[in-house]
Amino acid sequence: MTTAEYPALPRDARAAAEPVIDIRDVRKVYSTGAIEVEALRGVSLRVEAGEYVAIMGPSGSGKSTLMHILGCLDTLTTGSYLLAGEDVGHLSEVDLAVIRNRRIGFVFQQFNLLPALTAWRNVELPLSYAGVRRAERKARAIELLNRVGLGERIEHRPNELSGGQQSRVALARALVNRPSMVLADEPTGALDSTATADVLSVFEELNDDGHTIVLITHEEDVAAHAQRVVRLRDGLVESDTGAAR
């Protein structure tokens, strides 16, 4: 299924020289009228290729904001962000769209599946914006759905799927473009323990395959699956267990 356009992630991605994520002194200020809220107050973080990082912190600690900035879904106020060596702070909207499309797989807390589309159509969405042909898109989407254990549900719409199944569709969508890293915002937040275990095992497999994974969680046992835990408080890094190898 490998195309020239989308080379598969090399098995030994860990050996790549550049860190996947390298943010320095990132600040993010939200201003609503006269009130300014500083969500991030100078966060620096490096994540090497192949790492599995959990970001924890109480609500309001800025972890979601950090995640959105890492996913190029939001802009930073000051500081710098090098994604695999490339400074994304100065990229145009069009270039950012390409980055989001090719490099980043994002799993949203609410999954954000399009309700009108079936499971495989949701999964193939990033591929359609990458210009992949329809037949190949469908094959890739089905392959990914099989991998997350939803091979029987490809023609189901999101409202016909359970929360755990929806999260796996969202995960398949995040993976379909073979991104350099997968970002997940509380992927298990809405799931029961069985579904949580399922999703976490998928993350572990992905990490074993060489994918870089960053996820937000507030559950210690979820964080325990990660190799590294970064704790945020009040917009600053409170602790970081560091690369665990």
Partner 1 sequence: MSWLETLRTSLEAIRSHRLRSALTMLGILIGIGAVILTVGLGEGAQAQVASAINSLGTNLLVVSPGSTTNSTGVRGGAGSATTLTVRDANALATPGVAPDIAAVAPTTTRSTALSAGATTWTTSVVGTTPAWEPVRARSVAEGRFLTDADITSEAANVVLGPATAEELFGSTNAVGRTVTIGGLPFTVVGVLNSAGTSSTAQNQDDQAIVPISTAADRLIGGGNRTSVQAIYLQASTSDGLSAAYQEANQELLALHHITDSANADFTIASQESLLDTASSVTQTLTVLLGGVAAISLLVGGIGVMNIMLVSVTERIREIGLRKAVGASPVVIRRQFMVEASVLGLSGGLLGVLLGIAGALILPHLVGIQISVSPSATAIAILTAIAIGLIFGVYPASRAARLAPIDALRSE
Give which of 180, 133, 120 is closest to 3, Cα–Cα: 133
**Coil, strand or helix: which one is 157?**
coil
Candidates 17, 34, 35, 94: give the one binding partner 1 (CB under 8 A).
Answer: 94
Gap between the Cα atoms of 190 and 124, Å rounded: 24
Scanning 77-85, 128-136, 210-218, 226-234 for contacts with partner 1 by CB under 8 A, the matching segment is 128-136
Please tell me whether residue 97 binds partner 1 under the rule CB under 8 A: yes
Scanning 10-18, 121-129, 143-151, 218-226 for contacts with partner 1 by CB under 8 A, the matching segment is 121-129
Please tell me whether residue 74 binds partner 1 under the rule CB under 8 A: yes
Q: Which is nearer to partner 1, 48 or 120 (CB)?
A: 120
The one-letter amino acid at 234: D
Gap between the Cα atoms of 130 and 19, Å rounded: 24
Please tell me whether residue 139 binds partner 1 under the rule CB under 8 A: no
Q: Is the dihedral of CA 66, 71, 75, 76 positive or negative?
A: positive
State in angstroms the smallest separation of the CB of 216 from partner 1. Answer: 14
Please tell me whether residue 28 binds partner 1 under the rule CB under 8 A: no
Candidates 75, 78, 201, 239: give the one binding partner 1 (CB under 8 A).
Answer: 75
State in angstroms the smallest separation of the CB of 72 from partner 1. Answer: 8
**H helices then E strands: how many in the chain?**
7, 10
Please tell me whether residue 131 binds partner 1 under the rule CB under 8 A: yes
Please tell me whether residue 114 binds partner 1 under the rule CB under 8 A: yes
Q: Write out the E strands in the chain.
A: 21-32, 35-47, 52-56, 78-83, 86-87, 104-107, 181-185, 212-216, 228-233, 236-240
Candidates 98, 139, 190, 236: give the one binding partner 1 (CB under 8 A).
Answer: 98
- Report how far Cα 64 is from the mean position of its chain's Cα atoms: 12
What secondary structure, in 3-state letters, does 215-227 show? EECCCHHHHCCCC
Count the site residues for partner 1 by CB under 8 A: 27
Scanning 70-78, 143-151, 160-168, 237-245 for contacts with partner 1 by CB under 8 A, the matching segment is 70-78
Q: Which is nearer to partner 1, 51 or 185 (CB)?
A: 185
Give which of 215, 208, 129 is closest to 173, Cα–Cα: 129
Q: Which is nearer to partner 1, 113 or 222 (CB)?
A: 113
Count of residues making up the chain = 245
Residues of the shown chain interacting with partner 1 in the complex, contacts defined by CB under 8 A: 68, 71, 73-75, 93-94, 97-98, 100-102, 106, 108, 112, 114, 116-117, 125-126, 128-131, 134, 173, 177
